[in-house]
Chains A and B, each alone.
Chain A
Amino acid sequence: MTSPTEPVLSVRDLSIVFDTRHGPLRAVDGITFDLAKGEILGMVGESGAGKSLTGTAITGLLERPGRIDRGEIHFEGQRIDTLSAEEMRRLRGRKIGAIFQDPLTSLNPLMTVGQQLIQTIRTHLRLSPSAARRRAIEFLAEVGIPAPDTRVDQYPHEFSGGMRQRVVIALALCAEPSLVIADEPTTALDVSIQAQILDLLKKICREHGAAVILVTHDMGVIAETADRVAVMYAGNVVEIGPVAKVVGDPHHPYAQGLMQSIPRVGSEVRRLTQIEGAMPRLTDMPGGCAFHPRCPRATAECRATRPVTLPVEGGEVACHLYQGEPA
């Protein structure tokens, strides 16, 4: 991971467990990745793979019974997983912004859109009320809300779903963060608006220099929006690399199965490729490589030992099949 500038976010061996009466259950098992300044990293995987949990841990919103068991998170050179709640709160909103799935619940229904923007702006930047209001209107215009000077005083319920999500994006970016965590930002929206919102997200993050972690289960969204993608399975990052490579010609058998099982318009197959079985539950994690029960190429080593992450062209993969391959 040699980059000329220091990465905005650096996650090392992050591990998250849930304390239950059956003992601690490991939901994220030692993941490692970097995020460069202004980069869009997609985290893709099925429900329960741990991608949302990773985003939650980075923003410091992980709640009991979940906790970070080991590992480190470094943000702009500073270690943040050990910060106090108050310090983390100050960091959130100012330096780290968040966009969640449901625009209905992300906005406070009792405050106007302008009030929420202004509140965030003034909490993190030293601006007078009128300067903050002007900035709020500018942001609304930037995210494509028509007539922003009137709409700034409207309540969330007066906006449509897509418009609300634009407001949420404005809210996430108005304090000029260097990192934005977007968790399924378009899943709840109509298909024809998804493209608009993704385009907006890309554009505005580039312009404001914010790096993005885009968490989703939709490969199409990743393919259109991200620079690099990390594929997660059962709490592990099984493959990470440039989007074109991972989507077009993945290394890891799970990633391969995933890409092949997605139907595409125009392909004339009688049967879709399917990966047999299902992702294991936290209580039933197999030993060795978490994917081995479903892997068509599993070996004895896969059943016995957990694979290490190894470099491959442009990225990394965690699979025994690639040991001994040149980087």
Chain B
Amino acid sequence: MALDAHPKPRLKAFVQSDLFYSFRTSYVTVAATLVALFIIAAAFLAPWIAPHNPFDVSTLSLWDSELPPAWAEDGDPRFLLGTDNQGRDVLSAILYGSRISLAVGFVSVALAMAIGIVVGLISGYFGGAIDAFFMRIADVMLSFPTILVALLVSGIVRGILPREMHDNAALVVLVFAITITTWVQYARTVRSSTMVERSREYVYAAQLVGRRPFAILFSHILPNVMGPVLVIATINLAMAILIEATLSFLGVGMPPTNPSLGTLIRVGNEYLFSGIWWVVIFPSLTLVTLVLAVNLLGDWLRDALNPKLR
């Protein structure tokens, strides 16, 4: 009976694990993860690495407007990807815009996950009337499309708040709309996993030593239901970014004074037919690449965590 004489430290155990092996042998996944991390890092560091600040009006000059990318003729090496009609550097705008898009994405996923997990755990563990109550709310939430909710909330907020505050409220409205329509997915999957784990004997053992229900939920059951949650979170991140882009494109998202990638695409779209292609193409490419990378990562995660495929 040759058990390890000394149990491995956590990091070493992870590096040698089957999960990490399946990760590093999948070139697509590794590439996707690197790309996603690169974009995220660049976006995070935008204030420091962006060559210009596109939103500081004092630095803009109309003489620099509508310049093509640096490698084209008439291009200016100061503005690598060209400028828009106000003289704003496209590259810097993309960096700041990604920042907003990712912020909305991460925050709404985190909030939705938190709400969904708590509701799912409680619903699955206690069952009965509590479960019925939460699930009916969930059913109602599911019947609202995110875009519609965002439009609705946005309209209400604009009606209530004075004009100056509209732009600042945009971020909150977006996060709220996405969170409130996506928490249900987490709740459902956590609920069904909880119902399975609830009747396992280690839960009985914990009850027999007097652990309270909430202690059992968070210390025993939660670690065992996180797997599917992570998969959903990854895929939802991509979706949240896209929804934000869509809403901004429709005009109910981030304003041009503090644009996300979607806003940039909207603004750039108006110039497409006058030949100024770089203002819309580069933000679009960034958006597509980011979403694709996150989706690929989510795909790998789902297969890797599926016990049946192991």
Contact = CB atoms under 8 A, between A and B. Distances in A.
A280 B1 contact: yes
A277 B21 contact: no
A278 B1 contact: yes
Interface string A267-293: 000000000011011001010000001
A126 interface: no
Contacts of B18: 21
Size band of the interface chain A makes with B? under 10
Interface string B1-27: 110000000000000001001000000
A293 B1 CA distance: 8
B1 A21 contact: no
B2 A284 contact: yes
Contacts of B2: 280-281, 284, 286
Nearest to A277: B1
Interface residues of B, number: 4
State the main secondary structure of chain A at its contact with B: loop
A21 B24 CA distance: 13
Interface in B50-106: none
Contacts of B21: 21
A215 B222 CA distance: 39
A284 B4 CA distance: 11
Contacts of A280: 1-2
A142 B164 CA distance: 88
Nearest to B22: A21
Contacts of A286: 2
A100 to B, nearest CB: 19
A125 to B, nearest CB: 36
A12 to B, nearest CB: 31
A28 B295 CA distance: 42
A280 B18 CA distance: 21
A16 B29 CA distance: 33
Nearest to B25: A21
Contacts of A278: 1
A40 B2 CA distance: 36
Interface in B170-187: none
B15 to A, nearest CB: 13
A277 B21 CA distance: 31
Contacts of B1: 277-278, 280, 293
B19 to A, nearest CB: 12
A277 B3 CA distance: 11
B310 to A, nearest CB: 11
A103 B1 CA distance: 35
A110 B186 CA distance: 33
A281 B18 CA distance: 17
Interface in A5-64: 21
Contacts of A277: 1
A282 to B, nearest CB: 12
Interface string A73-92: 00000000000000000000
A278 B3 CA distance: 11
Nearest to A283: B2
A277 B2 CA distance: 10
Nearest to A281: B2
Interface centre among B1, B18, B21 (most CB of A within 10 A): B1
B25 to A, nearest CB: 8
Contacts of A21: 18, 21
10 contacts: A21-B18, A21-B21, A277-B1, A278-B1, A280-B1, A280-B2, A281-B2, A284-B2, A286-B2, A293-B1
Interface of B: 1-2, 18, 21
Closest 8 CB pairs of A and B: A284-B2, A277-B1, A278-B1, A21-B21, A280-B1, A280-B2, A293-B1, A21-B18
Given A278-B1, A281-B2, 6 more contacts: A21-B18, A21-B21, A277-B1, A280-B2, A284-B2, A286-B2
